[in-house]
C-alpha cells in the first residue's frame, strides 16, 4: 500500500515537461505511487496536459506551454500526489509462447548468462506470474517484472533493426513483449503467436498496469492454432 | 464538426480536387502526429518540423493539424487536375509552377493543368506542402502520419492520385489575380547550427555538468526521425548507477554508455534508461529535424525563461500571420476557405 505522503522530487524536464521521481525506500511503493499519480493526472482533465508516462518509479508529464506552465502542473502534481491507487482487481493473462530455436534466438545466451540450461530458463520464465509494471513503446509493449532471474541480462551489443512481432525478450531482470516490427535491443528468448495489439479493439491492448501475465509454453506444432488476435483466444 | 460537414451545412460548393504525382522522392502524407497516447505505448511522430507544418496550413486557411505533404531530403513534381490554393514551407527555397519560380512561405494559386515542382533543398531537409481543404487519407489513432512501428503511412509515388476536398476554385478570384505577399521570413538552414536546450535531470552525470556539452558535434548518417546521433566530443562521465527506464521527452539529449550523444526526435520510444543531460527547446527540436548528416551542431544551455520567451515569440509570429491570412481571405470574399480551426480563431 502506497504511503499517504509519497516522497518525491520534481524535475523540470525540458521547456514543456516535468519528471517526478519517487524516492521512498520500497520499490513496490514507488511503483504504486507512480501509477497512482499517472492515473490521477490522466483523469484530471487539467487544461494544457498533453500526456503522462508513468513507469517503475517515475511520472513524465508533458504539457502545452501556451495553456500551462511548470508551476501550474507542479501544483496539480502536489495536489494529486496523495491520491490513493484506485482499487483494481488484477486480471491474469495466459500468453502462449514458443521458446528457443527460431522463436527465441537468444535463449542460449540468456541461459549462459544465468548459469542455467535453456530448459531451466524456460521453467523459470513460465513458472510464475509476471506483473505488468507499465505499458510503453513500441506499440503497447508490456514491461514486466516477475520470477527472480539469477543474473542481470545485458542488452544486445547491436540492437536488431526489426523485431518479429510477438517476440518476448529479456533485459536486466525484466521481460517485454514486442508487439510491432520495431528496432529493439533486448535478448529474445521466445515468441507468442497471439496478436496482443489490435486496432479493432478499444483500447488496442487488453491489459493494464498491475495486471499479470503467465507464459504458457507451446510447441512449434501448436503455433498455428494460436496465431490470431487476442480477443479470439481462449486459454 | 469537421471542415467537410461545416461546408455542406453551409451549402457551399465543396468539390474534390485531384493532383497527380509525377515524380516523388521520399514524400509522405503527414500531420502533427499522435499525442496523448502514451498509455497504450504509441509514440508521437508527426511532422519533424512542427512549426513549418503549422505555418503551411495557416497560409492556406487550414487548421494547424490538417493533413499535408512532407517532402524529406528530396523533390516532388505533381500536376494539378483542379484549381488549388497551396503554400510551401520548410527547407525548399523556391517552387516552380509551370516552370515559373515562386517564393515559398507564401499563399499561391495553382490553376488546373499546372505542373508544380518542388526541388530538393540544398540545406535543411523537410519541406511542407499544404493545400487548402482536406486531403483524403486514412488515419490511425487520429493521425494520417506515418508510424514505422505501426507499419502505417502513405508514401507518395509517381502515378499516384491524391484527392482533396476543397472549396477553392479559380472562379473565386474574379479578375483579381494579384499575388499574396505575406512576406513571412523564411528560415535559413545552414551546415552549422546552434540549438538551445535547458538543463536535464541527469546533468550531473557529466563531470563538467552541462558545460561539458560545449564544443561542436556532427550529425551522423545513422540519424532518423527516432533520434539524431552525434559525434565529435569526448564526454567525461561520472560513474553512477543504472537508471530505470522512464518517460523521455522529445528533444531529450541522452548519453549512451559509450559516451555518444543522442537527441531524441518525434518518433522516439516513450521510455529509455540513459541519462538525460539536457532537453532541446521546442523550437530547437524543429531545427534539429531539419539538420542533415554532416551538419555541425553546437548546443547552448539556456534558462527556462529564455526557452519560454523563444517559444512565445514563435507563437506570436504565427498568430499574427494567421490574422493577416484571415484578413486577406475575408477581403477577397474567401471566408469560406478558412477552416473553423484556423489559427486566427485562437489568436
Cα–Cα dist B286/B48, whole Å = 6
Position A182 confidence tier, pLDDT thresholds 50, 70, 90: confident
Cα–Cα distances in angstroms (integers) from residue B156 to residues B19, B20, B29, B149, in the given order:
11, 10, 7, 19
Is residue B219 assigned to a domain? yes
Is residue A87 assigned to a domain? no
- Are B255 and B203 found together in one domain? yes
Is residue A144 assigned to a domain? yes
Task: Report ipTM for this prediction.
Answer: 0.92
Cα–Cα dist A32/A8, whole Å = 13
Cβ-nearest to A16 among B201, B276, B282: B282
Cα–Cα dist B70/B68, whole Å = 7
Query: Which pLDDT tens digits describe chain B residue by residue (347 residues)?
Result: 445 554 444 445 789 999 999 999 999 999 999 999 999 999 999 999 999 999 999 999 999 999 999 999 999 999 999 999 999 999 999 999 999 999 999 999 999 999 999 999 999 999 999 999 999 999 999 999 999 999 899 999 999 999 999 999 988 877 666 678 898 999 989 999 999 999 999 999 999 999 989 989 999 999 999 999 999 777 888 877 778 899 999 999 999 877 889 999 999 999 998 999 999 999 999 999 999 999 999 999 999 999 999 999 999 999 999 999 999 999 989 999 999 999 999 87
Report pLDDT for A230: 84
Using the Cα atoms of residue A155, residue A158, residue A161 and residue A164 in order, give the sign of their dihedral.
negative
Report pLDDT for B239: 79
User: What's the average model confidence in pLDDT over A168-189?
Assistant: 94
**Which CATH number does the domain housing residue A223 bear?**
2.40.100.10
- Are B247 and B107 found together in one domain? no
- Are A129 and A167 found together in one domain? yes
A65 reaches B (C-beta below 8 A): yes
List of chain B residues whose C-beta atoms are within 8 Å of the C-beta of residue A51:
35-38
- Are A110 and A190 found together in one domain? yes
**Which CATH number does the domain housing residue A64 bear?**
3.30.1360.40
- Are A67 and A142 found together in one domain? no
List of chain A residues whose C-beta atoms are within 8 Å of the C-beta of residue B151:
180-181
The tens digit of pLDDT for each residue in A115-167 reads: 999 999 999 999 999 999 999 999 999 999 999 999 999 988 888 889 999 99
- Are B90 and B55 found together in one domain? yes
Cβ-nearest to B247 among A42, A55, A205: A55
Is residue B169 assigned to a domain? yes
* Maximal C-alpha separation, chain A: 58
A47 reaches B (C-beta below 8 A): no
Mean pLDDT in chain A? Answer: 92
Is residue A141 assigned to a domain? yes
Instruction: Please give the share of chain A, as a percent, with pLDDT higher than 70.
Output: 95
Domain that residue A51 falls in: 8-80
B328 reaches A (C-beta below 8 A): no
Residue entry with cell 508544380: B116
Q: Domain end: A45, A80, A115, which one?
A: A80
Report pLDDT for A234: 67
- Are B183 and B84 found together in one domain? yes
Report pLDDT for B8: 46
Is residue B216 assigned to a domain? yes
Please judge whether A138 and B308 are an interchain contact, meaning their C-beta atoms are less than 8 angstroms apart. Answer: no
- Are B264 and B136 found together in one domain? no
Is residue B308 assigned to a domain? no
Domain that residue B56 falls in: 3-187+313-345
- Are A66 and A115 found together in one domain? no
Number of H helices, E strands in chain A: 5, 11
Cα–Cα dist A35/A110, whole Å = 30
Please judge whether B201 and A13 are an interchain contact, meaning their C-beta atoms are less than 8 angstroms apart. Answer: yes
- Are B113 and B155 found together in one domain? yes
Q: In terms of Cα–Cα distance, which of A94, A210, A59 is closest to A145?
A: A210
What ranges in A81-128 are assigned the alpha helix state H? Answer: 107-114, 118-127
Is residue B228 assigned to a domain? yes
- Are A66 and A150 found together in one domain? no
Please judge whether B41 and A138 are an interchain contact, meaning their C-beta atoms are less than 8 angstroms apart. Answer: yes
- Are A144 and A205 found together in one domain? yes
Number of structural domains (chain A) is 2
Q: Cα A103–A109–A115 angle (5° rounding)?
A: 125
Is residue B182 assigned to a domain? yes
- E strand or H helix that includes residue A9: strand A8-12
Cα–Cα dist B287/B276, whole Å = 19
List of chain A residues whose C-beta atoms are within 8 Å of the C-beta of residue B260:
none
Is residue B40 assigned to a domain? yes
Please judge whether A70 and B304 are an interchain contact, meaning their C-beta atoms are less than 8 angstroms apart. Answer: yes
Amino acid at each position: 500500500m502506497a504511503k499517504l505522503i509519497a516522497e518525491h522530487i520534481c524535475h523540470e524536464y525540458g521547456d514543456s515537461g516535468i519528471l517526478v521521481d519517487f524516492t521512498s525506500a520500497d520499490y513496490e511503493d514507488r511503483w504504486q505511487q507512480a501509477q497512482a499519480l499517472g492515473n490521477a493526472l490522466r483523469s484530471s482533465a487539467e487544461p494544457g496536459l498533453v500526456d503522462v508516462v508513468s513507469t517503475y518509479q517515475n511520472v513524465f508529464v508533458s504539457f502545452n506551454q501556451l495553456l500551462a506552465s511548470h508551476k501550474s502542473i507542479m501544483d496539480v502534481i502536489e495536489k494529486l500526489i496523495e491520491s490513493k491507487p484506485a482499487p483494481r482487481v488484477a486480471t491474469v493473462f495466459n500468453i502462449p509462447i514458443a521458446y528457443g530455436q527460431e522463436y527465441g534466438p537468444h535463449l542460449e545466451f540468456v541461459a549462459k548468462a544465468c548459469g542455467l540450461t535453456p530448459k531451466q530458463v524456460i521453467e523459470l520464465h513460465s513458472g510464475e506470474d509476471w506483473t505488468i509494471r507499465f505499458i510503453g513503446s513500441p506499440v503497447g509493449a508490456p514491461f514486466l517484472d516477475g520470477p527472480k532471474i539469477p543474473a542481470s541480462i545485458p542488452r544486445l551489443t547491436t540492437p536488431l533493426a526489426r523485431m518479429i512481432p510477438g517476440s518476448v525478450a529479456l533485459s536486466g531482470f525484466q521481460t517485454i513483449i514486442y508487439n510491432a516490427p520495431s528496432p529493439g535491443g533486448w535478448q529474445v528468448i521466445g515468441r507468442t503467436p497471439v496478436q496482443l495489439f489490435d486496432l479493432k479493439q478499444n483500447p488496442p491492448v487488453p491489459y493494464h498496469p498491475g495486471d499479470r501475465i503467465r507464459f504458457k509454453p507451446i510447441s512449434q506444432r501448436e503455433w498455428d492454432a494460436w496465431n490470431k488476435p487476442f480477443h479470439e483466444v481462449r486459454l | 464538426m469537421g471542415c467537410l460537414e461545416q461546408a455542406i451545412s453551409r451549402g457551399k460548393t465543396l468539390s474534390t480536387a485531384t493532383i497527380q504525382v509525377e515524380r516523388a522522392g521520399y514524400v509522405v502524407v503527414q500531420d502533427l502526429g499522435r499525442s496523448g497516447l502514451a498509455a497504450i505505448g504509441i509514440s508521437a511522430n508527426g511532422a519533424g518540423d512542427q512549426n513549418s507544418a503549422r505555418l503551411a496550413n495557416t497560409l492556406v486557411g487550414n487548421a494547424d493539424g490538417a493533413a499535408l505533404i512532407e517532402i524529406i531530403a528530396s523533390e516532388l513534381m505533381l500536376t494539378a487536375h483542379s484549381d488549388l490554393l497551396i503554400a510551401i514551407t520548410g527547407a525548399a527555397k523556391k517552387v516552380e509552377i509551370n516552370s515559373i519560380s515562386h517564393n515559398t512561405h507564401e499563399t499561391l494559386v495553382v490553376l488546373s493543368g499546372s505542373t508544380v515542382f518542388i526541388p530538393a533543398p540544398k540545406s535543411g531537409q523537410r519541406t511542407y506542402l499544404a493545400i487548402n481543404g482536406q486531403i483524403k487519407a486514412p488515419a490511425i489513432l487520429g493521425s494520417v502520419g506515418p508510424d514505422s512501428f505501426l507499419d502505417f503511412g502513405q508514401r507518395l509515388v509517381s502515378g499516384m492520385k491524391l484527392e482533396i476536398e476543397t472549396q477553392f476554385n479559380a472562379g473565386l478570384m474574379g479578375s483579381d489575380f494579384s499575388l499574396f505577399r505575406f512576406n513571412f521570413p523564411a528560415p535559413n538552414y545552414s551546415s552549422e547550427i546552434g540549438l538551445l536546450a535547458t538543463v536535464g535531470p541527469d546533468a550531473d552525470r557529466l563531470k563538467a555538468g552541462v558545460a561539458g556539452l560545449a564544443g561542436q558535434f556532427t550529425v551522423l548518417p545513422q540519424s532518423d526521425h527516432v533520434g539524431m546521433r552525434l559525434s565529435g566530443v569526448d564526454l567525461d562521465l561520472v560513474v553512477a548507477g543504472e537508471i530505470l527506464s522512464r518517460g523521455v521527452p522529445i528533444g531529450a539529449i541522452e548519453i549512451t554508455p559509450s559516451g555518444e550523444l543522442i537527441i531524441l526526435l518525434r518518433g522516439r520510444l516513450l521510455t529509455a534508461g540513459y541519462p538525460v543531460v539536457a532537453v532541446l527547446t521546442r523550437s530547437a527540436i524543429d531545427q534539429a529535424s531539419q539538420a542533415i548528416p554532416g551538419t555541425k551542431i553546437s548546443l547552448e544551455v539556456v534558462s527556462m525563461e529564455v526557452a519560454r520567451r523563444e517559444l512565445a515569440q514563435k507563437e506570436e509570429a504565427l498568430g499574427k500571420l494567421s490574422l493577416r491570412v484571415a484578413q486577406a481571405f475575408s477581403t477577397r470574399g474567401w471566408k469560406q476557405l478558412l477552416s473553423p480551426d484556423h489559427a486566427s480563431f485562437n489568436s
